[in-house]
Amino acid sequence: MNHPWRTRLAVSVAGLVALGLAPLVVLGPGTAGAAVPAGHDAGPPAAENFWLATPGGSLYGFGVPSYGSPGAPLNRPLVGVAATRDQQGYWLVASDGGVFSYGDAAFYGSTGNVHLNRPIVGLTATRDQQGYWLVASDGGVFSFGDATFFGSTGSIALNRPIVGMAATPDGKGYWLVASDGGVFSFGDAAFYGSTASDPGDPVERVVPTHSGNGYWVVQQNGTATAFGDAGSSTPPAQGLLFTPTTPGDQAVQFAFQQLGKPYIWGGNGPTGYDCSGLALASWSHTTGITFARVSNDQYHTAGTVVPMSELQSGDLVFWATNTADWTTVDHTAIYVGGNRIVEATGDHVQLNDLGQWGTGGLMPNGRRP
């Protein structure tokens, strides 16, 4: 039996997203620098080359060109986005199976005029980009172009809905994954394990390794669990749809909506924030949960203590000049998942790695309001 290895998948979000909309994020391959606050050492830069789309049909390019978006009101919301292999185009897919192709992504068909038993939840392109599969929440699979049908879970009673699909490297099979982490394999896709019995945020994707002899099961907050030969490598960047399901998720989405706003000492919003002001506003405006305003008091009193190994979306993490003395805590950030944080630092609110500024001053525990 394959032992799952839990790792972290970094997912970047930048810019402002529309209120009430969960962003779809598709990462490009590049990176760009981020502002470094005084008193911290710079770590590896956060990735900022990506597309960001919303369910309403808008799409923004950050560090990469935008090739277009539906623009006009859609019949159904966007639920999936897939980039072409050369990153020169992408497909957007709506819940009714309507497909929108841009750049060098070609259109091969859709289920827009088909009566579906369940809504479409994703699109996966074939290896040569000459076709794609659409998958519905009941595991129904629809093939277009040179995509071959290998089977589905459309006639199976599922514990949780299907949320994602991935093809094998040779295109002769595929995996489906459910929101509880259950994995279903078809064609030459082998089963290596699942996270169906593990707690955590909802699963959103199954991501195969280059060899096809393993995969990562990825939660919506970026946490990835490896099976097969995935345990010996790092998962590639992926597009994730962050849909709030817990109070912490709601706090994270509020923080996402503040990205790019200026850092203001003592700022409580909406114009700008300091670090602890952003943490408090993200929780209080979405959940009604309040706590202390200042970073060291937040570390001492906000909610319950959480070990760093058990962080969940929305938990607060802290830095201090002396990690043995809580009164020296001087910085608060909001944990997103995938070892990412949202923080007001430098000159604006930004998304960074948890280890972006080093871990020397990182407090040994987080707090869950």
Please compute the mean of the pLDDT values over residues 203-219 and round it to a whole number: 92
Which of 35-39, 236-240, 293-297 is modeled with the greatest confidence?
A: 293-297
Predicted local distance difference test score (pLDDT) of residue 219: 85
Strand order of the β-sheet with 59-62 is 59-62, 50-53, 24-27, 240-241
Contact 271, 281 (CB under 8 A): no
Q: Which of 27-31, 66-70, 73-77, 239-243 shows the lowest per-residue confidence on average (mean pLDDT)?
A: 27-31
CB atoms near residue 355 (< 10 Å): 12
Q: What is the 3-state secondary structure (H, E, C) of 11-46?
A: CCCCCCCCCCCCCEEEECCCCCCCCCCCCCCCCCCC
Superfamily of domain 247-368: endopeptidase domain like (from Nostoc punctiforme) (3.90.1720.10)
Return the closest-CA partner of residue 151 out of 185, 127, 119.
185
CA distances to 314, 315, 316, 368 from 283, in Å: 8, 10, 10, 10
Is CATH 2.130.10 correct for 5-241? Answer: yes
For 310-342, the pLDDT digits (tens) are: 998 899 999 999 999 999 999 999 998 878 899
Q: Is the pLDDT higher at 236 or at 279?
A: 279
Give the integer Cα–Cα distance in Å for 210 and 20.
Answer: 36
Cβ atoms 125, 146 nearer than 8 A: no
- How do the domains of the chain map onto residue ranges? 5-241, 247-368
Q: State the pLDDT at residue 239.
A: 61
The model's confidence at residue 355, banded by pLDDT at 50, 70 and 90, is: confident
pLDDT at 241 (0 to 100): 63
Q: Do domains 5-241 and 247-368 have the same CATH topology?
A: no
Report pLDDT for 7: 41
Statement: the pTM of the whole predicted model exceeds 0.85: no
In the structure, what pLDDT confidence band is assigned to residue 161 with cuts at 50, 70 and 90?
Answer: very high
At 99 the pLDDT is 96
pLDDT of residue 62: 64
Q: Give the residue from 111, 105, 160 showing the smallest Cα distance to 128.
A: 105
pLDDT for res 330: 95
Name the β-bridge partners of 143.
133
Write the pLDDT tens digit of every residue in 67-97: 988 877 888 988 888 888 888 999 999 999 9
Res. 269: pLDDT tops 80: yes
